[in-house]
Structure 1
């Protein structure tokens, strides 16, 4: 290679590096500052919601956590307040519009207008679709779709009046790729992704930035609260093992950090874990191939039978396999993240 060509390549490389560095500097300078911001996290008493609350507390956010479980809320409050966080906890079922309205009114009287809304409340139904009922689908859609609608519409007036705000909708990779034996969950998470993308396009004019999170599996300890159907002990063992494996699941702390970083920078969406990103890419290139692969996977999953359409929680479905060394990470996370 000629000396002149080498110099040109060096200049190009230096220019590219400067461009990347410049974009990083601008991105950091324009990052949203959570200090003293009022942040409402639905489903914030345990799991991913609680971990995000811990990280936001370190940044000086004023936290509001809501959940249906008063004991878990009080545990979360004691932990966060004990570390100096400014935190308010409220019992609220986000599938009930009246309760959401009352909660938002209470928050505004206590802290003032909400700056950041994080829609994180969730429910999981695991098992063959033939064992699912209309109730299961309604429960999923009410939690993952109507809940975020109620909270978003409740905070919009004050966000518009103040000239801005941030909304984070925590969907799932299951909201991009429909996963066998999680059909109510995936279908409702698809709905949330569509809602979130539409909100981002329309609310940008008011300086209200909407971010969609589609995380892959994370080690949060949450499987014990899943609703399991069919051959529930086999279903739960597989679910818990996948949730615990370092090959398929990321730590909930890293997941929370990635999601909050996307919210901080106003990114349109964020997907975590390599398996989730790979699956999303394959699905985008060929949805038919993805569904054909999942059809093969479905053949080796537990079939119908067992408790059938009856419901059992994850902690009611434990077995020697689900309590083995293969699930140690999930057991530790459950204890750490208020899931017990």
Structure 2
């Protein structure tokens, strides 16, 4: 029976897709790890997404090592996590200080032995029009969102290489794939982290180390109140907090944490969190000019420069009737759940 070349092409395509799916499934199973008894380091693990990830790993029996700036937040997180019957080590750490990072990793290794998994989650968010952003703002974002991860990786890498095994998860952002208006300092640092993480993956595979890049979209972690705002800061905060609370536009912190843990478990290259994030990256790939036009329209809808100018305020200090309205209920609930209301 004669088969046309069009049908042959379809059959070959279907066979290729099937082979790829089978290969992908096989690799995922081969690379999967059990977290029980593994030592996992989580930066920024005292609240928000970091704490949600720690909860899931505690349920799986991992030994947890958390660092963050605030000792009280760490104490609260440690007491909660120890209830799962796992060992938890916490230490206040200024992640922009390489010497503190090195000391933290040394102490974790003394407490638990080799580090199996590193999750670079800590970060800083500054919301401001570009006109009110300064060079110092860009440097601070780079120090916290990129260089801290870089130094943390270098602190754990030598022993991972010696053991020929390890997992590194770098939590970047959709802002590291698509530049977001009024988040230029944040996006700049996250673009750097994405590029670093992707390059690191290629170079460490031969050492048995899997590097995973996570790019979340908007998540309901409760973090807006601990973000920084410039310019018309009250309006900037209200807009940011409301957008962080929209059900179909955002993802729950619990769901995001589950996806991070699964991506780490299977040593995935990358995972985009939330449908809007996936759509945005897809459009950026095939129609960047269109996306740029859409983003410029969004930028025109945001608060104009002015207000307090280059001064900055934390979100929790700029609450208003709008930011505390029913429109932000989901974010407020997430803040209560995820240790974001301590200060």
**1:44 — aligned with what?**
45
Cα distance change, pair 199–20 in 1 and its aligned pair in 2 (3 A): closer
Q: Aligned equivalents of 1:243 and 1:152: distance in 2?
A: 30
Equivalenced residue count is: 330
Cα distance change, pair 25–153 in 1 and its aligned pair in 2 (3 A): closer
Q: Aligned equivalents of 1:303 and 1:210: distance in 2?
A: 39
Q: Which runs of 5+ in 1 are unaligned?
A: 1-12
**2:7 — aligned with what?**
none
Cα distance change, pair 114–180 in 1 and its aligned pair in 2 (3 A): same
Q: Is 1:269 matched with 2:275?
A: no
Residue 278 of structure 1 and its aligned partner are, at CA, apart by 0.5
**1:324 — aligned with what?**
325
Cα distance change, pair 207–316 in 1 and its aligned pair in 2 (3 A): same
**2:5 — aligned with what?**
none
Q: Aligned equivalents of 1:36 and 1:319: distance in 2?
A: 46
Q: Under a length normalisation based on structure 1, what TM-score does the superposition of the two structures give?
A: 0.93
**Matches of residues 38-117 of structure 1 in structure 2 within 5 Å?**
38-117=39-118
**1:258 — aligned with what?**
259
Q: Aligned equivalents of 2:206 and 2:24: distance in 1?
A: 24
Residue 19 of structure 1 and its aligned partner are, at CA, apart by 8.8
**1:5 — aligned with what?**
none
Q: Is 1:237 matched with 2:238?
A: yes
Conservation of the 8 A alpha-carbon contact between 2:145 and 2:189 = yes
- List structure 1 segments (4+ residues) > 4 angstroms apart after TM superposition: 16-26
Residue 319 of structure 1 and its aligned partner are, at CA, apart by 0.5
Cα distance change, pair 281–22 in 1 and its aligned pair in 2 (3 A): closer
Residue 76 of structure 1 and its aligned partner are, at CA, apart by 0.2
SS at match of 1:118: strand
Conservation of the 8 A alpha-carbon contact between 2:28 and 2:267 = no
Q: Deviations over 1:231-267 (max 9, x none)?
A: 1111111100111110211100001111111111111
Q: Deviations over 1:171-219 (max 9, x none)?
A: 0000000000000000100000000001001111101110000011110
Residue 32 of structure 1 and its aligned partner are, at CA, apart by 1.4
**1:9 — aligned with what?**
none
Q: Deviations over 1:146-169 (max 9, x none)?
A: 001111111111001111100000
**1:6 — aligned with what?**
none
Residue 24 of structure 1 and its aligned partner are, at CA, apart by 4.2
Q: Is 1:35 matched with 2:45?
A: no
